[in-house]
Structure 1
Amino acid sequence: MNQVQKLLIIGFVWPEPNSSAAGGRMMQLISLFKEQGFSITFASPAQDSDFMVDLEQHEVDKKSIELNNSSFDIFVKELNPTVVLFDRFMMEEQFGWRVAENCPNALRLLDTEDLHCLRLARQKAFKENRLFSVTDLFLEDIAKREIASILRCDLSLMISEFEMELLESVFKIDKALFYYLPFLLEPIKIAQLQELPLFEERKNFIFIGNFLHEPNWNAVQNLKETIWPLIRKQLPEAILNIYGAYPSQKVLQLHNVKEGFLIMGRANDAPEVVKNARVVLAPLRFGAGIKGKLLEAMQCGTPSVTTTIGAESMHGDLPWNGCVTDDIKDFADKAVKLYQDKTIWLKAQQNGVAIINQRYLKELFEDDFAKKVEMLQTDLQKHRLTNFMGAMLQHHTLKSTKYMSLWIEAKNK
């Protein structure tokens, strides 16, 4: 294709790679498209934040856009992108119909991050003290919105094989509409591993996670109320450092020096604090996607103890970087053993390296993804013709969402 390739990313928020895995993921996608020769514009209706990345340093144009405002139509028509990437389904809901109307030939991609409906249905089941069942997904309004968004797009990028299986078996979505693109990392070489702090040089347990994300706050409550007292019983001097961006007052109130339960707030350099810790604890009781904190632990050579939801879709058939268990007592026992036993700890560290090097290398995915994008662009009309449900939803959305948006815009004037 001779046309200059232009990518427009419509972001739910401005990327904050030091605050969340989602921010890191977005920067990986930007890097991927940059290397394919795209010129990139990142647009978002979000407010600027103190911790957002400087996009211009990455040669990405930054553009603030408004919800329910036809100024977007003028902007997108002038830009005339060849590919539009929606960051989460909410952005496709807001701007997808405008893109379809003004740039009908642009390839529309959706980066799901995780299946929001899965995370919320699991959260609801947990709060109601019952087991989650896939039929719960059908009861979620957000599932109807999210699946409609996936159907309207030409391709949805998925980071979890479990969620791809759900789309295919539960929601009966054609495999041609989604694509596995997990976190894209550089290999861990032996020399890098040798530069990391040794077992003897590390101390303390650590939890790390953005507190705007409900599963993280719940995991910290789980640690405080059940798991940490069991660990302290066996290791009376143990300390748990809890790091995370945007801690609320209720998080800060859990700080207790006497119990060795320390709320540290935002980590200025997350890899630095993780690689100096001996064990990462992540007792997640609900959630979706793959967990950036656990991949970061592997990159830092730090073993982890997590739950089946924490490790879901992350390690394939490979042994975990530590232990996976849903039993509270077992979780505490395994954490203590990992903390004390150098042999088990070193084996766990090696497992983490193998998971990164066999499942998350950028080089495993970049060429295939470039080919996929090119193939879709070449054959876009045919691809869309085979997606009748998407075309039908696009037709009705253009009518309903369009007129609702125009009504809000008129009302705002």
Structure 2
Amino acid sequence: MNQIKKLLIIGFVWPEPNSSAAGGRMMQLISIFKQNGFEITFASAAQDSDFMVDLSEFGVIKKSIELNSESFDDFVAELNPDVVLFDRFMIEEQFGWRVTEKCPKAIRILDTEDLHCLRTARQKAFKENRTFELVDLLSEEVAKREIASILRCDLSLIISEFEMKILEENFRINADLLFYLPFLVNRMEEKELFELPAFEDRKNFVFIGNFLHEPNWNTVQYLKEAVWPFIKKDFPDAVLEVYGAYPSQKVLQLHSPKNGFYIMGRAEDANEVVKKARVVLAPIRFGAGLKGKLLEAMQCGTPSVTTSVGSEAMHSDLSWNGFVEDNPVEFAKKAIKLYQDENLWKQSQINGIEIINKCYQTSDYADSLISMVKKLLEDSENHRLHNFMGNLLQHHAYKSTMYMSKWIEAKNK
């Protein structure tokens, strides 16, 4: 790969690394490709936001595009990218056929963020008050769309080992189409804990999460109604600060200073907020992927209490940096114990460092990703030849998406 290669990223939204883990993940991907000499254009049909990152500071070209418009065809044909990265399957549905039509040789990569069908099926089971089963995925409408998108692409980036297993075993996806890529951070040494606020210099419990994400709103609601009363009963001085971007009115209504339950809104600096807290609480009841807030807690030396869904695929076979507990009464007890026991708290910090260093090292994955992309660039024809189901979808079922888009385009004229 001697000459400079062009990467086009088509974003669901403009990256907001301070608002969500998804924004941070996108900036990690940009960094990997930038460091490997790619010329990057980031395009999105989303509106600009006050909190979006200035892409020009990272040497990335920003391009606003339109949905259901042939103007995208002209843009992508002129750019003629070597690699196109779709940010979530909905973006591949919308723009994938246009990329295939205008730039058939471009490598198509899907960043799933997390498996939307897993999150949706779990949420549905939760609302119907039943236990989620993996077989639920097979009847999930979103699964049909998401799996079709994965099959149409040359490579899909999967953030969770649990989701890799689901795709290979439940959906029978060929492993050659999947690449495991968790959140990526730098190695952390135990001595770095001495540079962080000490046990006695920290106070309060904290939760942090983007409220546009349904599992976060549900978590805070559950904290307020089911967990916090048990914590306050045994620890009357306890205070919980809830931070998060885009809080709705129903979130703000949970603010209750007399009960030590504070809705703080957007954090100016999420890292600083978590570093000053003593314990992170995240009783997540449904969701998918990896939880950025829990990895961030480990980096800040802040132990956490979460659920089995929250810790899923996050710590390999290592001890959690705190506790994993699904029962609200036990969750409250463990939260208080972690908050008050300094030795346990310090051991939990060390557990967090071990998880970071074993599971999330940039050096373990970044080079492998670029090697895989180079391999695809060199031999895309052979790779695609062996992806028969993907070719089938490109040939038949996919046309419905194309004609629907063309119909909207014609209607708009």
Shorter-chain TM-score range: over 0.9
CA distance in 2, matches of 1:370, 1:383: 16
Q: Any residues of structure 2 matched to 1:126-141 within 5 Å, and which?
A: 126-141=126-141
Deviation at 1:377, TM superposition (A): 1.2
Structure 1 moving runs of 4+ over 3 Å: none
Residue in structure 2 matched with residue 404 of structure 1 by the alignment: 404
Cα deviation for residue 383 of structure 1 reads 0.5
Describe the superposition over 1:263-303 as per-residue Cα deviations: whole angstroms up to 9, x where unpaired.
Answer: 00000000000000000000000000000000000000000
1:202-221 mapped onto 2 (5 Å cutoff):
202-221=202-221
Aligned to 1:293, the other structure's residue is in SS state helix
8 Å contact kept, 2:107–2:377: yes
Structure 1 residue 237: Cα displacement: 0.8
Task: Report what 2:177 is aligned to.
Answer: 177
For the structure 1 residues 3 and 395, does the alpha-carbon distance in structure 2 shift closer, same or farther, using more than 3 Å as the test? farther
Relative to structure 2, which stretch is displaced further, 367-376 or 381-390?
367-376
Are 1:97 and 1:397, in contact at CA under 8 Å, matched by a contact in 2?
no
Offset at 1:399? 2.3
Matches within 5 A, 1:98-177: 98-177=98-177
1:174 and 1:75 map into 2 onto residues whose CA distance is 32
Q: 1:1-40 residue pairs with structure 2 within 5 A?
A: 1-40=1-40
Q: Secondary structure at the match of 2:284?
A: coil
Separation in 1 of the partners of 2:22 and 2:185?
A: 14
**Aligned partners of 2:127 and 2:31: how far apart in 1?**
39
Q: State how far apart, in whole Å, the 2-side matches of 1:93 and 1:346 are.
A: 47
State the Cα deviation string for residues 371-405 of structure 1 (Å, max 9, x = none).
11111111111100101000010112452222211
Structure 1 residue 406: Cα displacement: 1.1
Partner residue, 2:262: 262
In 2, distance between residues paired with 1:305 and 1:319? 12
- Give secondary structure in 2 for the equivalent of 1:46: coil
CA distance in 2, matches of 1:400, 1:385: 23
User: Tell me, which stretches of 5 or more residues in structure 1 are unaligned?
Assistant: none
SS at match of 1:185: coil
Report the equivalent of 1:355.
Answer: 355
SS of the residue 1:271 aligns to:
helix
Structure 1 distance, partners of 2:53, 2:11, is 13
Q: 1:175-204 CA deviation, whole Å, 9 max, x = no partner?
A: 111000111101123343211000000000
Quote the Cα distance in structure 2 between the aligned partners of 1:275 and 1:190. Answer: 16
Match of 2:327 in 1: 327
Q: Contact 2:190 / 2:350 at 8 angstroms: preserved in 1? A: no
The answer to whether the Cα contact below 8 Å between 1:241 and 1:264 also exists between their aligned partners in 2 is yes
Tell me if structure 1 keeps the 8 A contact 2:206–2:240.
yes
Residue type matched to 1:371 in 2?
S
Deviations 1:321-357 (A, max 9, x none): 1000111111000000000000000000000011111
The alpha carbon displacement at 1:4 in A equals 2.2
1:219, 1:284 within 8 Å by CA — same for their partners in 2? yes
Distance, in Å, in 2 between the alignment partners of 1:233 and 1:396 is 61
Tell me the distance in 1 between the aligned counterparts of 2:40 and 2:376.
19
* Offset from partner CA, 1:125-179 (integer Å, 9 cap, x none): 0000000011111221111000000000000001100000000111111111100
Task: Give the root-mean-square deviation of aligned CA atoms.
Answer: 0.8
**8 Å Cα contact 2:252-2:263 kept in structure 1:** yes
Q: Does 1:316 align with 2:316?
A: yes
Structure 2 distance, partners of 1:344, 1:399, is 58
Counterparts of 2:192 and 2:61, CA distance in 1? 34
For 1:271 and 1:189, locate their aligned partners in 2 and report how far apart those are by CA, in whole Å: 18
- Aligned position for 1:383: 383
Identity %: 69
- Residues 57-72 of structure 1: matches in 2 within 5 Å? 57-72=57-72
SS state at 1:100 partner:
helix
Q: Quick check: 2:190–2:353 contact (8 Å CA) kept in 1?
A: no
CA distance in 1, matches of 2:44, 2:262: 35
CA distance in 1, matches of 2:237, 2:399: 63
The separation in 1 between residues aligned to 2:37 and 2:4, in whole angstroms, is 9
Question: Post-superposition shift, 1:33?
Answer: 0.2
Q: How does 1:40-119 map to 2 (within 5 A)?
A: 40-119=40-119
Secondary structure of the structure 2 residue equivalent to 1:284: coil
- The alignment partner of 1:216 has SS state of helix
Aligned positions, number = 413
Contact 1:281 1:305 in 2 (8 A): yes
Gaps of 5+ in 2: none
Q: Provide the C-alpha distance between the structure 1 equivalents of 2:241 and 2:168, rounded to a whole number of angstroms.
A: 40
Tell me which amino acid in the other structure corresponds to 2:115: L
Deviates more, 1:261-270 or 1:390-399: 390-399
Equivalent residue letter for 2:384: R
- 1 CA distance for matches of 2:244 and 2:367? 34
Which amino acid in the other structure matches residue 143 of structure 2?
Answer: A
